[in-house]
Amino acid sequence: MRICLASILTLALPALVHAQPQCDVRGAVGGAVGWLILDTPVDPALAGAGRNGLASTTGTGLEGSAHVILPIDRGWGFTAEAGTGRMAVAVERDESGVEVNERTSDDATFGRIVAGLMKTRAGYRSCTYFGVRLGAYRYSYRGVSLTAGGISAMMGGDIPLSASGALFFEIEFSVAITKTRPPLTPSGVVPNVRPSFGYRYRF
């Protein structure tokens, strides 16, 4: 019986090891397309709804981003990313308190530069990772801009295509501290969720 088990393990272990990808952090550069899916309050006066009105972003925004990864130690890496996107803005209530649902002629734009640490782990035929990043978030609408500090947490997975290339899917949750300043009045904290997918070249 022991001989049979030893034979099975001898045959199976190389296949199992082969199925586990090498998931140490490697230097990489890449790009992604993402979606901004949480609505964000917008200053109603800027949106044309009057000070007592109500306005916010609406629908799903599109974002493009680029990133770099640098290895630190086995399984740990430093990552930095810059992204920019936009979302439509709609007036939800006018100055008199009447509920409306009208899009404005201008979109709100969102930019971010973040950096932090990431940790990888091996999965079956893929590598998963998670991380935390700090950075600056910039919001602009109708000529008014605001830069705010924030933090994000992200997790994702790599699917290797070759020795140097991989597709990846990632989801990030971020929070920016805007302190109720235009163009995002009256919101003091702005969260967002950004699922994305892209390609990275590893070296």
What type of residue sits at position 52?
Answer: N
Whole-prediction pTM value? 0.85
pLDDT one-digit tens code per residue, 147-176:
999 999 999 999 889 889 999 999 999 999
Q: What is the pLDDT of residue 6?
A: 43
Q: What is the pLDDT of residue 123?
A: 66
Low-confidence ranges of the chain (pLDDT < 50): 1-20
Residue-range domains of the chain with CATH: 22-202 (2.40.160.20)
Q: What is the pLDDT of residue 15?
A: 37
Q: What is the pLDDT of residue 22?
A: 66
Tell me if residue 2 falls in helix, strand or coil: helix
Cα–Cα distance, 61 to 176 (Å, whole number): 17
With beta carbons less than 8 A apart as the criterion, state whether 50 and 44 touch: yes
Q: What is the pLDDT of residue 2?
A: 46
Per the DSSP assignment, residues forming a β-bridge with 132 are 117, 153
Q: What is the pLDDT of residue 127?
A: 84
